[in-house]
Amino acid sequence: MVERTTRRRIDDGDRAPNGREWELFVRSDGADPMRHVGSVRAADIDGAYELATRLFAWHADDVWICPSSAVTRYTTHDLADAPTVEPPTDATESRSREWS
């Protein structure tokens, strides 16, 4: 059985020292998956979209944007003072790593 991964739960609210932070996802071709490409800082969704297009219009067809504060992150990286989340206790949960 593969050992379960322990992660920290990063739930630090809005991430902008000023304004609001917005996570960006772009796709350059219809067959590609959306790719996270960082975040922009803007007062509202329209401002975020304007910034996103200035930065990625040369590359991206599709742009998705969501408030950074709406994302809860579970990470194995250990920098944050954040609680670890116990892995599920259900040992029967299948994992792709076990299939390879």
Residues 5-44: x/- map of binding to other proteins (CB under 8 A)? -----x-xx-xxxx--x----x-x------x-xxxxxx--
Considering only residues 59 through 78, tell me which ones interact with other proteins, judged by CB under 8 A: 59-60, 73, 75, 77-78
Q: How far is CA 8 from CA 28, 60, 96, in A?
A: 32, 32, 21
Tell me which stretch binds other proteins (CB under 8 A): 51-59, 83-91, 92-100.
51-59
CA 52 to chain centre: 16
Residue 53 as a binder of other proteins (CB under 8 A): the answer is no
